[in-house]
Amino acid sequence: GQNIDQPTEMTATEGAIVQINCTYQTSGFNGLFWYQQHAGEAPTFLSYNVLDGLEEKGRFSSFLSRSKGYSYLLLKELQMKDSASYLCAVRGITGGGNKLTFGTGTQLKVEL
Amino acid sequence: DAGITQSPRYKITETGRQVTLMCHQTWSHSYMFWYRQDLGHGLRLIYYSAAADITDKGEVPDGYVVSRSKTENFPLTLESATRSQTSVYFCASSESGLRDHTDTQYFGPGTRLTVL
């Protein structure tokens, strides 16, 4: 099975940089996803890592270390609209290799 | 392009009643998933389907039934609703089960279910 840990809440200032960490233990690894979820809305895809290293996509970057079971999501130039929950999810190797196990999410609050 | 839709968006029912939540996707994605989201638990997989007529249990399947007679539809039925099934239910779909970046799961808008 899989176990995923991420902080429950974080607060940051508009314009700043914030790093949201995710650690996982898994019996089979086939990629790690980050999703953003605004209150009352569906999760939306942000990033995907399957190999070690950094993936950059505009203001958002995601890093993966498979040997350490560790990932982080880096948000730069924070905006008020970035206030949301950020979900870390690990894809396993059973069920056709497409089942996701989600962490409980990190609620990010961006303040002025 | 409607994408993935769920109905109803809100539902209030009583303990013991049967409830069916609908999910429809227009992408012809092979995989479809049902999750429930509760405070403190995050998203938990209830059932998933790799193709029409192929379904399998997820992490929390008890009390739920699914079917998939057509690729585009994946209804979730609560046979006898209980208060513990009060939750937000999300349907999702993805293109395939291959080890490929395009297998991102895309989520529907959710159904907020309250069981009294």
Q: Please give the average pLDDT of every successive group of 10 residues along chain A, which has 112 residues.
A: 90 98 90 95 94 94 96 98 97 74 96 95
Read off φ and ψ for residue A51, nearest 5 degrees: -110, 155
Q: Are A33 and A48 in contact (CB under 8 A)?
A: yes
pLDDT value at position B98?
58
Tokens of A76: 């730069």
Nearest to B98 among A89, A97, A104 (CB): A97
DSSP A22: E
Distance from the A32 Cα atom to the nearest Cα atom in chain B, whole angstroms:
10
Residues A54, A59, A62: CA angle, nearest 5 degrees? 25
Q: Please, are residues B83 and B17 in contact by the beta-carbon 8 Å criterion?
A: no
**Residues of chain B neighbouring A102 (CB-CB closer than 8 A):** 35, 42-44
Res B45: pLDDT: 95
- Residue in the block written with tokens 């227009």: B26
For tokens 């006898």, the residue is B80
Angle, alpha carbons A85-A24-A36 (nearest 5°)? 20
How far apart are the CA of A71 and the nearest CA of chain B, in angstroms?
Answer: 17
d(CA A14, CA A5): 26
Quickly tell me which residue has 């607060």 as its tokens: A11
A28 touches chain B (CB under 8 A): no
The CA-based dihedral angle spanning residues A56, A57, A63, A64, taken in that order and rounded to the nearest 10 degrees: -110
> Is the Cβ pair B108, A97 closer than 8 Å?
no
Whether B94 has its CB under 8 Å from any CB of chain A: the answer is yes
Residues of chain B under the 70 pLDDT cut: 1-2, 97-102
Nearest to B97 among A33, A45, A96 (CB): A96
Which chain B residue lies closest to A2 (C-alpha atoms)? B59
Cβ distance B98 to A105 less than 8 Å, yes or no, reads no
Cis preceding linkage at B8, omega within 30: yes
B104: contact with A, CB 8 A cutoff: yes
CA gap B95, B5 in Å, rounded = 16
Token pair, residue B91, equals: 């349907």
**Element housing A110 (H / E):** strand A106-111
Chain A contact present for B18, CB below 8 A: no
Contact flag A44-B94 (C-beta cutoff 8 Å): no
Contacts of residue A102, Cβ cutoff 8 Å, sequence gap at least 6: A4, A87, A88, A89, B35, B42, B43, B44
Residues in chain B, total? 116
Q: Give the pLDDT confidence score for residue A35 in this predicted structure.
A: 97
Residue B91's pLDDT is what? 98
Q: Does B34 touch chain A (CB under 8 A)?
A: no
Inter-chain CB proximity A100 and B45 less than 8 Å = yes
